[in-house]
Chain A
């Protein structure tokens, strides 16, 4: 081994007068020459300029330097520049470091003498660091160019279509037998009032027929392992008791099935059979048997579906199937649910038949809904003459329910009131609201349309809803006049708060973080809104927070483009400033394993089987260095931030 003494060159930038105006650069150069163990110290007007960079390159060649310190502005500005410069003449870029003597020195003091002192010390700390810097190479990770999209509502479908169209295979998974999500339940959509099914169904069919998309419906995630680019996911496809290869979706079995149970798709407003198709336009157009309700599977008698199926598709001995998938990226598109009934006690929700939530009213309005698009009320099928809409039912309510604004309710309530008025011309829609929030294209105009078409807006929150005879009495207030208001309504629609559909257990399974309400947290609320802090996981749609359809679709395309970006190469580079393990020193205590936020460290037995030690899964390590600080014996060392380096830097700053 040659002498391991580094040949360091220091370049001090004047930055015009930005640095030189406060820092006495000739003095800094003089002191460094005298005090620091370096080969060369040179100053230049603008190191980042072409002549400046050339000077660095020439000096490296001439003085046979192997390490470089540039004392200039913040590393956030020109660290990449100078690292590129030095690597063009054969120096490892990680052996070039920046001493920030502008933002953190010359700009923050007027005292020239002290500024000169401080600049010298800052440069010395960096020289000390460079002395022990190792040449590093970015880590290369292979990428499985296949994506898994969890949740097949409009967000999941859009994400899958975008990725698939870019040429990469996608698995689109949903827990329900059909794709489509909540959007398939909606009647018309704001602010254009086009029919939800009409715009969604073609997308559903496209997803089904796309050669790059594999649908896995009626499926749930069982477990997940691996890391960015290389995930292994176990999926449980629930027993359907119907052979989907034989089933044609003809519905003969559905007609014959004698067992009825509340229909989830219509939110309990109607009944479905034990063998059922989620809705007529279901994709795939297939039926499943809901085992707990099936007379044969539960009680051993019936088999009518089997008897009548023209294709012999009924398969009572069907089992759950476990499939293991290998994917490079996952997109969460798990969406939302509406708030639980229990949380709205004073509104009688869940107790009073004629108090429904927004999605139930969507079904009532829907042409394929329980009343075929005629507006009737659930209790007696009467046409409601007066419908009260209650906004912020559980939203903006930190004391009793959700603190946040659910964002979509102002618009969908206006829409529902307009649609009601279209169906029942003489009907009276009344909306109780706190604020009408119309931030969106065409939204304010749509609100105006609602008032134009005869919707009465009352500014005040409702306190109590109860039944009196066959009427539903609503106690509200008009805060603008200060009057308490009592309305005798026929039907009440609560704009209940949105809440995340993904459970805490599900998030823990995927090791994703959620906010206090359970919405998935993005990597950065403004600049990285579709990424998560876990590499390889992306967010689409309302699983991240309340969103309307255009927003959910836009974010889905954003998530898809992130996945596509990841898939453009079959490998990816990872920052090499990660932690390592000195096996000889490691005692195998495992302290570092608990400290690591990325699960990048694991206990292993050494190859000779003699001792326990820790292995770093390099691709998972993000280089925070927490393990290095925690290791009691100094075996864990972050590359280029080793104990020795930081201690030397401290010395350099105090000399």
Chain B
């Protein structure tokens, strides 16, 4: 079975187990082993754009070096990890950052040529497995489920560093859901910010950001939301309790819906770990017994 290096990151081992386990399991079903790095450390959770902040780049680069033992690709699930790892590598290997790079390599006491490509699991599904192929593996067709794919900021921007999808009109996750038989819902806030870490300092501001996104999703007629990031998930799901309007809209990790379509064990799907209980919706759509 094809092995690709896999980096779970902090939250996937704790609060977002459902994002992690579903991904490993579905990959297995689709013929790819997500092989976790032997050792790994925190990516930094947010990319530091301060120009002299070399220290913040050490951690992500160490992970990328570690990945070389397994493959030239490193798969992430969390949009934040994806953003940090990919940008660190991209920027460190710009010609103008030659001095920084040498200093970093001296510090890490190793040689690394920047060849580890950070990819998101969605990209693995699209490029390594193929959505057409995925279609044939579906056990439970998500027919009738209207899903709003919420990408957030960290996978899309800065587009010149990440080059993930059209930053104004991303479709990769929508295409995946279409392959699973679900109905992707268009809405204009796919890449708007959920408020991110501002939540910790000014919860009201972050909550308003998330509420705007939810309003747009509900207007578009979606049954549920799919996310790729634990912080987006929390802001959009859990913070519904603090919103001025009640949406009662279930929020999934995209891997949970993928798992559902591939008949992954309910224990792994872990549908209890949500603020808005998604089970009634799934039952109503006949996707869950």
Instruction: Tell me if chain B binds chain A.
Output: yes
- Using A466-B188, A467-B188 as known contacts, say yes or no to A345 and B167 having CB atoms under 8 A apart: yes
Is A468 among interface residues, defined by CB-CB distance under 8 A?
yes
B71 on interface, CB distance cutoff 8 Å:
no
Taking the nearest CB of chain B, how far is it from the CB of A489, in angstroms?
14
Complex CA–CA separation, A346 to B166 (angstroms) = 10
Residue contact B219 to A351, C-beta cutoff 8 Å: no
Interface residues on B, range: under 10
What is the interface of chain A, defined by CB distance below 8 A to chain B? 345-346, 348, 351, 464, 466-469, 473
- The residues of B that contact A345 with a CB separation of less than 8 Å are 166-169
Complex CA–CA separation, A468 to B189 (angstroms): 11
Whether A468 pairs with B167 at a CB distance below 8 angstroms is no
B238 CB–A CB distance under 8 Å: no
B260 to chain A, nearest CB (A): 30
Cβ of B216 within 8 Å of any chain A Cβ, yes or no, is yes
Interface members, chain B 209-233 (any A CB < 8 Å): 216, 219
Asked if A346 meets B168 with Cβ closer than 8 Å, knowing A466-B188, A467-B188, the reply is: yes
- Cα–Cα distance between A638 and B57 once the two chains are bound (Å): 61
Point out the residue from A348, A464, A468 that lies within 8 Å of B219, measured CB to CB. A468
Q: In the complex, which residues of chain B have a beta carbon less than 8 angstroms from the beta carbon of A473? A: 188
Residues of B within 8 A of A469 (CB): 219
In the assembled complex, 16 residue pairs joining A and B whose CB atoms fall closer than 8 Å, in A order, are A345-B166, A345-B167, A345-B168, A345-B169, A346-B168, A348-B188, A351-B169, A464-B188, A466-B188, A466-B189, A467-B188, A468-B188, A468-B216, A468-B219, A469-B219, A473-B188
Tell me the bound Cα distance from A346 to B169 in angstroms: 8
Residues of B within 8 A of A346 (CB): 168
Question: Nearest-CB distance from A291 to chain B (Å)?
Answer: 34
For B166, give the chain A residue with the smallest CB separation: A345
Count of A-B residue pairs with CB < 8 Å: 16
Q: Which residues of A contact B168 (CB under 8 A)?
A: 345-346
B156-172, CB under 8 A of A: which get 1 and which 0? Answer: 00000000001111000
Q: Helix, strand, loop or mixed for chain B's interface?
A: loop
Give the distance in Å from the alpha carbon of A194 to the alpha carbon of B236 in the complex.
55
Minimum CB–CB distance for A471 against chain B, Å:
11
How close is B193's CB to chain A, nearest CB, in angstroms? Answer: 12
In chain A, what residue has the closest Cβ to B189?
A466
Report the nearest B residue to A467, measured CB to CB: B188
- Nearest-neighbor residue (CB-CB) of A469 within chain B: B219
A488 CB to nearest B CB, Å? 13
A interface footprint on B177-189 (CB within 8 Å = 1, 0 otherwise): 0000000000011
Q: Which B residue's beta carbon lies closest to that of A473?
A: B188
B216 cross-chain contacts in A, Cβ below 8 A? 468
Q: How far is the CB of A350 from chain B (nearest CB, A)?
A: 10
Query: Which of B167, B169, B188 has the most C-beta atoms of chain A within 10 angstroms of its own C-beta?
Result: B188
B167, closest chain A residue (CB): A345
A348–B189 Cα gap in the complex (Å)?
Answer: 12
Q: Taking the nearest CB of chain A, how far is it from the CB of B156, in angstroms?
A: 11
Q: Please indicate which of the listed interface residues B166, B167, B168 has the most CB atoms of chain A within 10 Å of its own CB.
A: B168
Bound complex: CA A464 to CA B192 (Å)? 10
Complex CA–CA separation, A345 to B156 (angstroms): 13
Quote the shortest CB–CB distance from B227 to chain A (angstroms).
Answer: 20
Residues of B within 8 A of A351 (CB): 169
Inside 8 A of B166's CB, which chain A residues have their CB?
Answer: 345
Question: In the complex the two chains form, what is the Cα distance from A388 to B189 in whole Å?
Answer: 21
Q: In the complex, which residues of chain A have a beta carbon less than 8 angstroms from the beta carbon of B169?
A: 345, 351
* Nearest-CB residue, chain B, relative to A344: B168
A467: chain B residues within 8 A (beta carbon): 188
> Cβ of A466: which chain B residues have Cβ within 8 Å of it?
188-189
A-side contacts of B219, CB under 8 Å:
468-469
Cα–Cα, bound, A553→B169 (Å):
41
| Residue of B with least CB distance to A351 | B169
Closest chain B residue to A465, Cβ basis: B188
Given A351-B169, A467-B188, A473-B188, 11 other A-B contacts at CB below 8 A? A345-B166, A345-B167, A345-B168, A345-B169, A346-B168, A348-B188, A464-B188, A466-B188, A468-B188, A468-B219, A469-B219
Distance to closest chain B CB from A353 (angstroms): 14
The 5 closest A-B pairs by CB, nearest first: A466-B188, A345-B168, A346-B168, A345-B169, A468-B219
Question: How far is it, in angstroms, between the C-alpha of A466 and the C-alpha of B168 when the chains are bound?
Answer: 11
A467-B189 Cα distance, complex, nearest whole Å: 10
Q: Which residue of B lies closest to A468 (CB)?
A: B219
Q: How many Å from the CB of B73 to the closest CB on chain A?
A: 28
Instruction: State A467–B216 Cα separation when bound (angstroms).
Output: 10
CA separation between A473 and B188, bound complex, in Å?
Answer: 10
Contact string, B54-82, partner A, CB cutoff 8 A, digits 1/0? Answer: 00000000000000000000000000000
Once the chains are docked, how many angstroms separate the CA of A469 from the CA of B167? 23
- Bound: A348/B188 CA distance, A: 9
Question: Closest Cβ of chain A: how far from B219's Cβ, in Å?
Answer: 6
Query: What is the distance, in angstroms, from B55's C-beta to the closest C-beta of chain A?
Result: 30
The interface residues of chain B lying within 8 Å CB-to-CB of A468 are 188, 216, 219
